[in-house]
């Protein structure tokens, strides 16, 4: 497969870092962004305002026009909000592709409400010609660390023939690609770990420390595994980079957006107040309801994830999470 031009949808921190990585690898990159204010800053300054020492590579072309972004493209990378994926594919991308088959890599994470579909499945549903041409890109990868050249392993999951062709595009310092066939397990791991990270943040907000967080992650991994298996994923995927690896990163690190949002909730802020203070999108919020509904539909025992749902979606006091872990004497019942 000959790849010359790559389209990256989303010029947030992660999208810009991915675009920069691909540009440094010698590819021509169209970086699309709908937010005109951000786009103007990127064009005017030639830098990203939220990434230190980040000068936009000469191989990157910035645009807010989808038609311009996908013209003659050989590969599409999604790095936009999971909530926007279906509408974006249906209303903007479908008419432009007009049945054309272009491989897609999804770096967006989330599980759709009610349908329980993953991002890759949503893309294939709206663009049926791309069946078996959509890959999941997931693993413990803070964008700012990748931008600084910190060694990073990321899973590329899906049709293994396509994975073998696309992995060379991303496989360059500081990123090492780990191929995987269990796309469903990888995507569910990537979505659920964001919910888990909110729970870790709640523990931080309450002030109960690393011991409790380690216990939380350990208990929640079994719940994550049960959900992955219930949805057709492989049991071992929970212990992969996209499951356990990403859960450690996002649950334990101070810079994780999902963990920071949970910390605000644990300190007593409402969801809206917490979202406002965190500022950037915490994708875990978009997956909490779906994860809860999947567990109920399949009659799974998920006390940790249920408690996180109660805090995020029902405004319950943060100590319900400690009670779910067995610490019944902590806080107000």
Catalytic residues: 193
DSSP, residue by residue, 170-222: H-BTTEEEEEES-HHHHHHHHHHHHHHHHHHHHHHHHT-HHHHHHHHHHHHHH
Distance of alpha carbon 331 from alpha carbon 99, whole angstroms? 57
C-alpha distances out from residue 189 to 111, 130, 186, 227, 313, Å:
10, 23, 5, 9, 21
* Helix, strand and coil percent figures for the chain, each rounded to 5: 55, 15, 30
The sheet that has 134-138: what strands, in order across it?
60-63, 28-32, 5-9, 75-78, 104-106, 134-138, 152-157, 175-180
Q: Are 325 and 215 spatial neighbours (Cβ–Cβ below 8 Å)?
A: yes
Three-class HEC string of 251-308: HHCCCCHHHHHHHHHHCCCCHHHHHHHHCCCCCHHHHHHHHHHHHHHCCCCCHHHHHH
Q: Is 117 exposed, middle or buried (0-12, 13-18, 19+ CB in 10 A)?
A: buried
Q: Which helix (H) or strand (E) holds 31?
A: strand 28-32
Distance between CA 310 and CA 318 in Å, rounded? 9
Q: Are 102 and 76 in contact (CB under 8 A)?
A: yes
């Amino acid at each position: 497969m000959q790849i010359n031009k790559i389209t990256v949808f989303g010029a947030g921190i992660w999208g810009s870092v991915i675009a920069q990585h691909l540009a440094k690898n010698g590819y021509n990159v169209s970086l699309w962004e709908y937010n005109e204010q951000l786009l103007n800053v990127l064009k005017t300054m030639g830098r990203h305002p939220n990434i230190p020492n980040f000068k936009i590579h000469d191989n990157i072309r910035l645009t807010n026009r989808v038609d311009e972004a996908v013209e003659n493209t050989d590969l599409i990378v999604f790095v936009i909000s999971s909530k926007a994926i279906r509408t974006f594919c249906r209303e903007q991308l479908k008419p432009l592709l007009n049945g054309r088959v272009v491989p897609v890599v999804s770096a967006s994470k989330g599980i759709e409400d009610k349908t329980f579909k993953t991002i890759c499945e949503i893309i294939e549903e709206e663009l049926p010609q791309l069946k078996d041409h959509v890959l999941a890109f997931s693993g413990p990868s803070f964008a700012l660390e990748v931008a600084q050249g910190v060694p990073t392993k990321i899973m590329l999951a899906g049709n293994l023939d396509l994975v073998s062709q696309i992995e060379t595009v991303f496989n360059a310092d500081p990123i090492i690609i780990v191929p995987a066939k269990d796309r469903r397990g990888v995507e569910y791991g990537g979505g659920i770990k964001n919910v888990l990270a909110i729970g870790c943040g709640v523990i931080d907000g309450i002030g109960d420390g690393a011991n409790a967080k380690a216990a939380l992650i350990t208990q929640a991994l079994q719940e994550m595994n049960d959900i992955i298996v219930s949805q057709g994923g492989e049991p071992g995927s929970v212990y992969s980079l996209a499951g356990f690896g990403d859960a450690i990163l996002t649950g334990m690190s101070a810079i994780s957006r999902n963990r920071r949002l949970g910390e605000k909730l644990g300190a007593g802020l409402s969801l809206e107040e917490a979202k406002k203070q965190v500022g950037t999108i915490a994708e875990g919020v978009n997956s909490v309801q779906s994860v809860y509904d999947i567990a109920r539909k399949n009659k799974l025992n998920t006390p940790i994830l249920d408690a996180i749902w109660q805090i995020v979606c029902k405004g319950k006091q943060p100590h319900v999470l400690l009670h779910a872990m067995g610490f019944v004497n902590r806080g107000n019942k």
